[in-house]
């Protein structure tokens, strides 16, 4: 089996402390044996000798010739050991700092290469849950938070991050706001989310922005600031509880679709060059060809057609809301790439 060639920083730190402890214990024991000093006096003599602080003349006269020889040995050996320990300690600190700088540069380089990513502003409980959900869709993510503990948690969770205030334009630029496809604002206050939304919309007019509203009346403010969707968790939570009580079958159906267990519910963008453009739903025959049902159709002008009829003609930039068994979306994408 291959042997390790290097100690980890933690191991080197432990080695430095162990070396100092061994010298202190050996020095104390030497003074106890040679000059019959108490443990406290022996430890005191050891520490002032290793630290090269020196001792008073009266203290030097109180120890024997053997004790003085032991002092000289400690000065040489203990001083050298102290220098080695100090070097190890400094090395651990400097290496950690350098590693942090290099690691940050690597993260910045990765962020700089992103396109069509999603920026999550705020890595609290909701922000972290959103990131975990988005990870399942393999969407590239960048977290923004000004709390070092939260960015450290984001890094530990495997997400790219920018440390800073998301309401500052420079911080959003660092997260490549201009090239992002989506932004989620889940900061601590509605005012902060409104401000982030305003700046983000100015930097990227096409980005899709979803923002949390702590108060119901803040939803309209967020929408006016430029958010595509404003979500009030307490309203959604209340509606879900009511639906569970009154329409449990519908809730179970939607949960299955969202989790992608036996059923998929997805959206499919009809590109301008797609072969679907100009065809009716009857001609496309998607249930037979790909195993999907089109439950809604969102037009380029934001008009939404629910349960479109078989004679509905598909147009460029239509967004089809489809449902089907797991794997249906992949078959559709393969048929109409």
Residues 130 and 232 both lie in one domain: yes
Out of 78-87, 242-251, 264-273, pick the least confident: 78-87
Tokens 């002008």 correspond to: 301
My answer on whether 121 and 230 are in the same domain is yes
Lowest mean pLDDT among 21-25, 83-87, 134-138: 83-87
* pLDDT tens digits along 281-311: 999 998 888 888 898 999 988 888 988 999 9
Same domain, 214 and 281: no
**pLDDT higher than threshold 50 for residue 170:** yes
Q: Are residues 135 and 26 in the same domain?
A: no
Domain count for the chain: 3
Final residue belonging to a domain, choices 72, 90, 108: 108
One domain, residues 189 and 299: no
H or E element, residue 85:
helix 65-112
Print the domain residue range for 50. Answer: 9-108
Say yes or no: 94 and 130 in one domain.
no
Domain shared by 86 and 135, yes or no: no
Say yes or no: 99 and 57 in one domain.
yes
pLDDT tens digits, residue range 137-157? Answer: 788 999 999 998 898 899 889
CA separation, residue 6 to residues 12, 95, 229, 258, 292 (Å): 9, 13, 52, 48, 57
In terms of domains, do 168 and 265 share one? no
Bridge partners of 230, per DSSP, are: 211
**Which range, 32-36, 48-52, 71-75, 263-267, is most confident?**
32-36
Q: Which of 112, 111, 302 is nearest to 208 (CA)?
A: 302
Report yes or no on 2 lying in a domain: no
CA-based nearest residue to 166, from 133, 209, 206: 209
Q: Which two tokens stand for residue 23?
A: 């010298």
Residue ending a domain, choose from 108, 127, 155 = 108
Shared domain for 182 and 219, answered yes or no, is yes
4 occurs within a structural domain: no
- Residues 36-49: tens digit of each pLDDT: 888 888 888 887 77
Final residue of a structural domain among 88, 108, 128: 108
How much of the chain, in percent, has pLDDT values that exceed 90? 35
CATH number where 92 lies: 1.10.287.70
């Amino acid at each position: 089996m291959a042997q390790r060639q290097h100690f980890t920083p933690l191991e080197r730190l432990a080695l430095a402390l162990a070396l100092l402890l061994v010298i202190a214990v050996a020095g104390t024991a030497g003074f106890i044996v040679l000059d019959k000093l108490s443990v406290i006096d022996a430890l005191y003599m050891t520490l002032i000798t290793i630290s090269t602080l020196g001792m008073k003349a009266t203290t030097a006269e109180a120890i024997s010739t053997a004790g003085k020889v032991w002092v000289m040995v400690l000065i040489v050996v203990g001083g050298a050991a102290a220098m080695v320990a100090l070097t190890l300690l400094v090395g651990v600190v400097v290496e950690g700092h350098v590693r942090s700088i290099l690691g940050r540069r690597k993260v910045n380089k990765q962020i700089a290469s992103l396109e069509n990513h999603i920026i999550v502003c705020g890595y609290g409980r909701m922000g972290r849950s959103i990131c975990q959900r988005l990870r399942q869709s393999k969407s590239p993510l960048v977290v923004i938070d000004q709390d070092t503990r939260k960015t450290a948690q984001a890094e530990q969770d495997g997400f790219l991050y920018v440390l800073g205030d998301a309401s500052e334009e420079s911080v959003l630029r660092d997260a490549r706001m201009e090239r992002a496809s989506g932004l989620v604002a889940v900061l601590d206050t509605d005012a902060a989310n409104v401000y982030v939304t305003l700046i983000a919309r100015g930097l990227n007019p096409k980005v899709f922005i979803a923002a949390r509203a702590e108060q119901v009346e803040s939803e309209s403010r967020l929408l006016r600031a430029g958010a595509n969707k404003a979500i009030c968790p307490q309203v959604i939570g209340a509606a879900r509880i009511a639906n569970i009580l009154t329409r449990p079958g519908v809730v179970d159906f939607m949960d299955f679709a969202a989790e992608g267990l036996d059923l998929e519910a997805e959206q499919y963008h009809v590109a301008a060059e797609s072969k679907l453009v100009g065809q009716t739903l009857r001609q496309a025959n998607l249930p037979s060809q790909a195993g999907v049902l089109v439950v809604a159709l969102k037009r380029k002008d934001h008009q939404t057609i629910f349960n479109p009829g078989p004679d509905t003609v598909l147009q460029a930039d239509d967004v089809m809301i489809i449902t089907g068994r797991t794997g249906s979306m992949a078959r559709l994408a393969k048929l109409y790439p």
